[in-house]
Structure 1
Amino acid sequence: MTAIVAGSVIAPPSAPDAAAAEVLEHASVVTFGAQDTALVAGQYLRIETVGEHLQFWKAEWADDDDENTLSFNASREGSDAAVLVRDTRVLYIPADREGDWFYDWGHSEVVESFGERGPEAARDWSAWPGSQVIEHGTIETLPAGEYLAIGGDEPPMPYLADRYRPFYAEMPREPQELLDWLRGQSGMTGEDADRWLVASLSDPSAINLMPADLRSAFFLAIALIPGFEVVAEEGSTATLRYVVPGHRTRTIAIDTVQGLVSSISENYGTGGPAGDTLDSTTTVRTTVVDSAPQER
């Protein structure tokens, strides 16, 4: 498969990038001796997740009296303004993952606006009922990590942060076999399977919460995917990028001392009022604590 961009033909990479593979191989090694996700009884992993995402606003839709018209359904290029929304939440995972987890729903807020009518868009977003579905400070109990939205009628489902847990036992620890297993989840083949796999890497905790041996193999499996490249190395952080020409760019920051993923960003393009601001970034900070807030 090749990709055509701006009249030129770009051949997809045929082999893994050596520098990217080196970063991932290093993360694979240090994950055994660094901060692990294994805890002693009574302790919790405290995972603070900060998500930032752009919302694109159309003025004429904001002025429409039809309540079914959503002013933030615009495209980047077709928007009159944009806002950057920051969502902060905290998850507490017990040493025994079959016990009660606690989820602090946190809060969302506009932290920046773009375009001449950006302040108007920010006010519009803050007044939109969907911007704060759940009251600030709400703590929810998730039995065994099963998630059911407050007030929802759907059956509980495994929380996204731990979504590989049902498959830990069957996931291979040999890197190539694990990569084949991960590709198989897509139902696709070849480069399409790799693109699906990279696109599915949206929550850093889905990787960080794996057992150390599986997390180590996961890093090595990702290192086998052609297309990743190192774009920055600063202190204990190495940043890798994977580009789907003409569509999506995925950026993954790895803490090479802890052997954990620090953040994952996604971008679909530039331009419009928001310029080159990334479409979304999810950053996590993982610590070990001796208690968790109770449901309220």
Structure 2
Amino acid sequence: MIGAPMQSPMQTAHSLQPAQSLQAAQIDAVIRMALAEDVPFGDLTTECFVPAQAVTEAHLVAREPGVFSGGEVFSRAMTALDPAVQVQGALPDAARFDTGQRLASVRGPARAVLSAERTALNLVQRMSGIATLTAEYVRTVEATGVRIADTRKTTPGLRALERHAVRCGGGHNHRFSLSDAVMAKDNHLAMLSEGSEDLTSALRRARATLPHTTHLEVEVDRLSQIPAVLEGGADTIMLDNFSLEDLRRGVEMIHGCALVEASGGVTLETVGAIAQTGVDLISVGALTHSVRALDLGLDFQ
């Protein structure tokens, strides 16, 4: 199921931990939206130049090394316009690949293949870019046992695909939506400060109204907030934009009474040092909000 976290990431010489499957309905909803945008009333160029009876064969080829994500997405996009199109030999999601490697093969009516090409490539390139970047973060902190997690800073409409790609890279998913868990951030706390209720009391009241299975997380931006949050019974405390020294002090103050999450401006250059402070997980918005699509191409025979 989308949104469920994987177990601790394990890495081999050739692939990362296999990713869980996306649901077909989620994939098809995205593909329908993308094709309606790209081929709303047919493909004029293809219809002008390509005979209706023409058949073609093409291969999805890597122009650079990376971690693959979106094999089923690519296949369903390529076959969406004509079920006579066949996609074979797709690399498993979470597998590593090298420059020049063939990642999948496509054969079928040329018009359908050409019309679906850009939609299929856009999705698999973005997903593989996310998986590849996530794998770099995971590799940087693997000796510490710290989890790398995504955030809700995803492309509207593509969250299920992008979250899947994070798992392909060995990362973990944060809450999937606002309906999944309680997460009191700075703006929520600002609203609270306008009333008469203190933070500890507010958290205890929230805890009393929630099902016992609901996770409660609180974001803090200074060390002085931690005692009140601990007394309120938070399950996870997010230390937002803390210095390395304050992260260490925060971990000491929390002392295992809650999970400790570090967040805020995390980069590949800083994530290793953050992991060394003793936090349990590091959330990285850059995995999805500013990732570069991987260079993959569809080469026709």
TM range (shorter): under 0.3
Q: Which structure: greater helix fraction?
A: 2
Larger radius of gyration, structure 1 or 2? Answer: 2
Larger RCO: 1 or 2 (CA < 8 Å, sep 6+): 1
